[in-house]
């Protein structure tokens, strides 16, 4: 998802929550629980509380506590022994150094690795990932696997909290590339995202049915193409070329319509082919019609005999 001439700089680090009191408090306050009713083997409903980590609250509290120089996208600079004190001199850039840069986008990826927590702890919607437009939060802990409410074939789907590479890739694809899960779309009628699980399996890191940590060539092309058009549109708006921006936005909208129609067509065809059974309506045969007529005559004869018996058995006044 990187264009030609662009550079990706990864700045990694590990910090203990015990050394950051306010961040640890934010994690504690982001813990919530909701009641669930499940049917056990004895056929009875059992109510229990399931804990989850609220990503929205966690992000809101973390943003207030983390360093402003990192989150507000300030310029980056390398302070090493060779470049210190050469502020007014032209310094040759070297591979791996950090220099003053403008227009750089910083995307924080927080891998929250917890110990001694609820073994079934997850984030909202039975996921280990939470994203917004500027941050990625991934939950990690030592539980081997957690059963989900989804079923594949005849077995339950599991998520592995100790292996979060797929969730990190999905978060970066969503925040940096503007990609969404292939099976998910926004519904203005329902005012919420709706899903179609026909596209849940594939070469992508999204959702409970994925098992790869990479993006397909199709999704990479979509991310690059959409980003190029939006960057051109933003530059036109910045230069106050409103007429050109209007034409460019119309082109983006028109180019997305055939894609949506193509996807709807593919989904409709796959829906027909993936049905487990079909119902066929057949006309009744002649023998069946004759049999039905025979039973109808017997029923009428029975009613006639019943009324005759009632009529003659009644006393004469």
- pLDDT value of residue 64: 67
Q: In the predicted model, is pLDDT for residue 243 greater than 70?
A: yes
Q: Which two tokens stand for residue 287?
A: 């023998």
Q: Between the ranges 70-84, 109-123, 213-227, 257-271, where is the mean pLDDT highest?
A: 109-123
pLDDT, the chain, mean: 77
pLDDT tens track for 199-227: 888 888 998 888 888 888 878 877 776 76
| 156 vs 126: CA distance, rounded Å | 13
Task: Tell me which residue of 121, 200, 132, 206 sits closest to 166, measured CA to CA.
Answer: 206
Three-state DSSP class for residue 120 = coil
Give the helix/strand (H/E) hosting 85: none
Q: Between the ranges 16-20, 49-53, 98-102, 290-294, where is the mean pLDDT highest?
A: 49-53
Task: Tell me which residue of 11, 3, 14 sits closest to 98, measured CA to CA.
Answer: 11
Instruction: Work out the burial of residue 52: count CB atoms within 10 Å of its CB; fewer than 13 is exposed, 13-18 middle, 19 or more buried.
Output: buried
- pLDDT value of residue 239: 80
Residue 92 — very low, low, confident or very high, per pLDDT cuts 50/70/90?
low
| Top-confidence residue, 223 or 81 | 223
Whole-structure pTM over 0.75, yes or no? Answer: no
Half-sphere exposure of 117 toward its Cβ, with a 13 Å CA cutoff?
21
Backbone angles phi, psi at 290, to 5 degrees: -65, -40
Q: Residue 205 in contact with residue 216, Cβ under 8 Å?
A: no
C-beta pairs of 5-11 under 8 Å, 24+ apart in sequence = 9/76, 9/98
- pLDDT value of residue 190: 72
Mean pLDDT of 247-265: 72
Three-state DSSP class for residue 166 = helix
- pLDDT value of residue 167: 92
Work out the percent of the chain whose per-residue pLDDT is above 70.
75
């Amino acid at each position: 998802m990187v264009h030609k001439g662009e550079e990706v700089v990864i700045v990694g680090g590990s910090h203990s929550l015990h050394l950051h009191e306010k961040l640890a408090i934010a994690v504690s306050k982001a813990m919530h629980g909701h009641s669930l009713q499940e049917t056990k083997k004895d056929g009875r409903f059992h109510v229990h509380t399931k804990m989850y980590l609220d990503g929205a609250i966690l992000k809101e509290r973390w943003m207030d506590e983390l360093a402003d120089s990192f989150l507000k996208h300030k310029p980056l600079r390398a302070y090493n022994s060779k470049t210190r004190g050469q502020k007014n001199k032209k310094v040759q850039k070297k591979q791996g150094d950090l220099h003053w840069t403008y227009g750089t986008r910083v995307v924080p990826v927080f891998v929250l690795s917890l110990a001694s927590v609820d073994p079934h702890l997850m984030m909202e919607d039975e996921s280990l990932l939470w994203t917004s437009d500027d941050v990625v939060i991934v939950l990690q802990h030592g539980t081997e696997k957690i059963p989900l409410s989804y079923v594949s074939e005849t077995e339950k789907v599991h998520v592995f909290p100790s292996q979060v590479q797929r969730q990190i890739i999905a978060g970066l694809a969503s925040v940096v590339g503007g990609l969404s899960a292939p099976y998910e779309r926004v519904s203005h009628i329902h005012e919420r995202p709706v899903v179609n699980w026909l596209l849940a399996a594939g070469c992508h890191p999204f959702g409970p049915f994925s098992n790869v940590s990479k993006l397909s060539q199709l999704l990479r092309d979509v991310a690059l193409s959409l980003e190029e058009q939006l960057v051109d549109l933003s530059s036109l708006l910045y230069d106050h070329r409103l007429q050109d921006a209007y034409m460019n936005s119309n082109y983006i909208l028109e180019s997305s319509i055939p894609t949506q129609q193509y996807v709807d067509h593919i989904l409709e065809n796959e829906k027909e082919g993936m049905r487990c059974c079909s119902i066929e309506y057949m006309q009744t045969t002649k023998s069946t019609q004759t049999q039905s007529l025979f039973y109808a005559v017997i029923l009428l004869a029975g009613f006639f005999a019943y009324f005759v018996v009632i009529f003659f058995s009644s006393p004469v006044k």
